[in-house]
Amino acid sequence: MGGWPRVQGSGQLRWLALSAVVIGVDQWSKQLVERTLQLSEAIYCLPVFNIVRAHNRGAAFSMFDGESGWPRWAFSILAAVVSVSLVVWLARLERRANLLGAALALILAGAIGNVIDRLRLGYVVDFLQVHWREHYFPAFNVADSAITIGAVCLLLDALLSGRRAAGS
C-alpha cells in the first residue's frame, strides 16, 4: 500500500487541465492574429462572421476602453482574485460535480487568458466578430468565449441542482 496518500474529497482540480488547454489555445490564437493582421484589419469568413484584429483596453464589450491606465490594473487585480477563488472552489467541490467543475475551469481559463494580455500588452487582443448586415457585435476572443460558455454551464448546473433538490 505505498504511494501518495489520498486527500479526502480531493475536489475537482483535475479540471485545471481544461483550463490549461483553453489558456493555451487562447494565447496561441491571439498571437496568430497579432502576427497576421494589422490593427483593425479584417478577414471576411462568412456573411455573419469576420476575423478582425482589435485591442480592448477596457472591459467586456469595450466598456472603459477610452479610460487612462486604471482599467488595466483594476481588471488584472480583479481577475487574480477571481482566479484564486475559483481554484479554491474547484478544490472543495464534490467529485461528482462535473458540470460545475467544467464551468469553473472555463471561467478560470478566460479570466487568466485575458489577464495575461492585460499584463503583457496593456490591452486584450480580440478578433472574433459576429455581425448581421451593418450591425456589429463587439469583437471577442477565445477567453471571452470560455467565460460565456462557463457562465451558461454554471447557470445550467444551478437549474439542474434546483430540480434535483426539488425532486428529493
Q: Order the strands of the 135-136 sheet from edge to edge.
A: 42-46, 49-56, 124-132, 135-136
What whole-number distance in Å separates Cα of residue 123 and Cα of residue 114? 9
* Residue 149, SS3 per DSSP: helix
Q: Which of 26, 117, 144, 157 is catalytic?
A: 144
Kindly tell me if the per-residue pLDDT of 168 is higher than 90. no
Helix (H) or strand (E) holding 80: helix 70-92
**Model pTM score:** 0.86
Please identify which of the residues 26, 117, 126, 157 carries the catalytic annotation.
126
- What are the residue boundaries of the structural domains of the chain, listed by start? 13-167
pLDDT tens column, 78-90: 999 999 999 999 9
Catalytic site includes residue 26: no
Secondary structure class of 124 (helix, strand, coil): strand
Catalytic: 144?
yes
The number of residues making up the chain comes to 168
